[in-house]
Amino acid sequence: MSENIDIDVKYLTRVEGHGNIVVNAEDGDIKKCEWQVIEAPRFFESMVLGNSWRELHHITSRICGICSMAHQFASLKATEDAMGIEISEQDQLLRRLAYHGEMLQSHILHVGYLSFPDLMNEQSVVPLASSRPEKVKTVIRVHRLGNELSETL
């Protein structure tokens, strides 16, 4: 007896952005397994056209509200490379440190606010503020620390 299975999850929650999962199996073999990114194009490439190179890193930092520094630093690096500019080692290290602060807050956002409720069989972090207040306070402190590190630099 053959068995075909089609799984089509249209809207995934608790991910940064929007996505679907599609899995098709025939006779026990997976024929298709896809993670579909369903974000509409936002045309940032067109938005930067005609702007001064001095403005590009401000514009590209708006690509994502969670990882704005990563986009800003990528834009700065592209501009510097195009213009043959080499920044000092100290500036490189400061950028890296600021980026690590952003990465810290991004990771704790995922683990603390998106994954932790699932692991505790809760719908969101809100009920955990009552049942596990110290854990939630730790998540908030680490999230704040990552933001403060990036902002300070």
User: How far from 78 is each of 6, 19, 75, CA to CA, in Å?
Assistant: 43, 29, 5
The reply to whether 134 sits in an annotated binding site is no
Looking at residue 66, its pLDDT comes to: 84
Mean pLDDT, consecutive 10-residue stretches, the chain (153 aa), reads 82 76 92 87 88 94 88 96 97 95 93 92 94 96 94 88
Looking at residue 12, its pLDDT comes to: 76
Looking at residue 63, its pLDDT comes to: 87
Measure the CA–CA gap between 85 and 54, rounded to whole angstroms.
14
Q: What is the DSSP letter of 113?
A: I
Measure the CA–CA gap between 98 and 146, rounded to whole angstroms.
9
The reply to whether 16 sits in an annotated binding site is no
The strand order across the sheet containing 29-37 reads 4-9, 19-26, 29-37
Looking at residue 4, its pLDDT comes to: 87
Looking at residue 65, its pLDDT comes to: 81
The reply to whether 55 sits in an annotated binding site is no
Looking at residue 41, its pLDDT comes to: 79
